[in-house]
Structure 1
């Protein structure tokens, strides 16, 4: 459906006397038989022409020649052929010039696989042999590699990410240039770095990404990140067994022998959200305590962990532990967790037959931190050690605990 709508955009441009091509990642992925999420179009029509031809549009980046055309809820970026001026901040060109020649537009792009254009007849414009590099399974920079990386240093991480996603090697001259230009990555906004790392960890070959990060020393400017990938690289292949990015990062930190404090430092450096930071540091903290050895499964006492963090977190934690034990993992492992959970007569403080107010009244004490401590002790004894969940029994035990603490 999306491609059919995009075809109508090309047809409108051609009908009105302009050239138009599919370009970049969508062409690459069509040739590879991969799913296509975004369809980009390039044309010799100027932004004003595109706006005139497509009243339903968003002026995404007119300064750089881009107008997003709306079609049935989808957006298609239509960009005028352009060349770019000098890059001054390792990210953006100081200016762009609109041109009439497709090749000039393609030669400003990052890698040969992304510097191909396809017309309505599926004819390929491929001046840098991108299709050949796809066949050879190579990531190769367009033109002079060092110049491409100096223009936009994020391309260093994009090369790593494409290698990991596609299972490609990086062409030798491109790889050599990455090692030379690696220091430029320190100039890139951390949010952009994090996004590329997320895509690398979420790829089909994250171990390839880790190996390349180590080999090219892209994170020499960040000792924590460099140590993370160096120490975790040998176990990175296990990440494909995990679903969420929080799980994948947690596994990586555990494999690198990072404690909870170092984990939080990296999360802060990468400006992860508070929610993601809390999830990752919780997983890492529990993994530290459990300390599962690689591919050496053993029984775990799930009860205290279930009471501490709940069912949902334990279920995700179990998946991480299974990845730690992947070559010898046991399909019954999740069943043992579920059985442990189901047999607990109470699963949270809210299910206890007493409340904090009940304890205050029964013990004639003022509110304070003691209430939460006693309630959690009662929960543990009720859920795991057979204490009856009745108000009478719970208050009796609470009195003894408070008396012991005061003594």
Structure 2
């Protein structure tokens, strides 16, 4: 459906005397038989021509020759052939120049597999032998690798990510250039670094990605990240058995023997959201308290964990443990969690037969932190140790708890 819509864009451009090609990642993925998510188009039509021919559009990057054309609710980036001026910040060119030759546009691209264009007849324009590199399963920089990485240092991580996603090797000269230009990565916005790392961790071969990060020393400028990927790479193959990125980071951090505090620093270093940081630090805390051994399952008492973090987080923790114990699947993790959850007569403080106000009145004490502590004690005793959930029994237990601890 999306390709059919994109075809009409090429047909319209050609009908008005312009060249037009599918370009970049969509061509690569069509040749590999992979799902295509974004379809990009390049043309010798200038942005003004594209705007004139396609009234339903968004001028997303006119400075760089890009117009997003909207067709039936889908957007397609249409970009004018261009060359690029000097890169001043290791990320973006200071200026671009529109050109009339497709090959001039393709030679500015990062890797040979992304420097191919295809016309409406499925004829390939491949000046840098990208198709051959696909067949040989190689990630190869276009032209001189050092220049490509110096222009845009994010390409260093993109090379690792493509290798991990596709299961490809990195061509020898390209790999050597990555090692030589690794310091440039320190100039890239942390948010872009995090985005590439997340894609790598979510790839088919995350272990390969972690090993490449270590081999190329891309994070020499960030010792904590360097330590993380170096120590965790051996266990990174397990990430394919996890669905959520927070679970993947948590397993890696545990594999690298980084505790809760160090894990928070990693999250802050790559600027994860507050929610992601809290989730990851919680998982790391729980894993270090459980101390699971790789592929050696141990019996867990899920009741205290359920009371500590709740049902959803406990289920996610069970999935992480399943990955940690992947080679020995004797435990039916979710059934164990479900069984423990259903056995608890109460699951939250709100379900107790007394409130904080009831405790204040019964114990004739002023409000304070003691209420929270006593209520949580009553919850544990009621949920796990048979204390009846009646007001009388709970108040009596509260009196004993207060007397014992002198709150």
Q: TM-score, normalised by structure 1?
A: 0.99
Deviations 1:184-218 (A, max 9, x none): 00000000000000000000100000000000000
For 1:316 and 1:248, the matched residues in 2 are separated by 11
Corresponding residue number in structure 2 for 1:380: 380
For 1:398 and 1:42, the matched residues in 2 are separated by 73
Corresponding residue number in structure 1 for 2:170: 170
For 2:340 and 2:226, the matched residues in 1 are separated by 40
Corresponding residue number in structure 2 for 1:207: 207
Corresponding residue number in structure 2 for 1:246: 246
Tell me how far 1:11 sits from its aligned partner.
Answer: 0.6
Corresponding residue number in structure 2 for 1:233: 233
Corresponding residue number in structure 1 for 2:154: 154
* SS of equivalent residue, structure 1 residue 360: helix
Aligned counterparts, 1:33-112, within 5 A? 33-112=33-112
Residues 297 and 331 of structure 2 are in contact (CA less than 8 Å); yes or no, is this contact kept in structure 1?
A: no
Corresponding residue number in structure 1 for 2:269: 269
For 1:42 and 1:305, the matched residues in 2 are separated by 55
For 2:166 and 2:391, the matched residues in 1 are separated by 61
Corresponding residue number in structure 2 for 1:198: 198
Corresponding residue number in structure 2 for 1:315: 315
Corresponding residue number in structure 2 for 1:390: 390
Deviations 1:6-36 (A, max 9, x none): 0000010000000000000000001111111
* 5+ long unaligned stretches in structure 1: none
For 2:46 and 2:197, the matched residues in 1 are separated by 35
Corresponding residue number in structure 1 for 2:302: 302
Following superposition, which runs of at least 4 residues in structure 1 exceed 4 angstroms of deviation?
A: none
Tell me how far 1:331 sits from its aligned partner.
Answer: 4.8
Aligned counterparts, 1:283-362, within 5 A? 283-362=283-362
For 2:357 and 2:10, the matched residues in 1 are separated by 70
* 5+ long unaligned stretches in structure 2: none
Root mean square deviation, CA, Å = 0.7
For 1:85 and 1:333, the matched residues in 2 are separated by 56
Corresponding residue number in structure 2 for 1:9: 9
Tell me how far 1:361 sits from its aligned partner.
Answer: 1.2
For 2:244 and 2:284, the matched residues in 1 are separated by 15
Corresponding residue number in structure 1 for 2:366: 366
Tell me how far 1:320 sits from its aligned partner.
Answer: 0.5
Count of paired positions: 407
Deviations 1:76-128 (A, max 9, x none): 00000000011011001011000000000000000000000000011110011
For 2:376 and 2:197, the matched residues in 1 are separated by 39
Tell me how far 1:332 sits from its aligned partner.
Answer: 1.9
For 1:203 and 1:348, the matched residues in 2 are separated by 38
Tell me how far 1:329 sits from its aligned partner.
Answer: 2.0
Residues 296 and 328 of structure 2 are in contact (CA less than 8 Å); yes or no, is this contact kept in structure 1?
A: yes
For 1:135 and 1:356, the matched residues in 2 are separated by 69
For 1:301 and 1:277, the matched residues in 2 are separated by 26
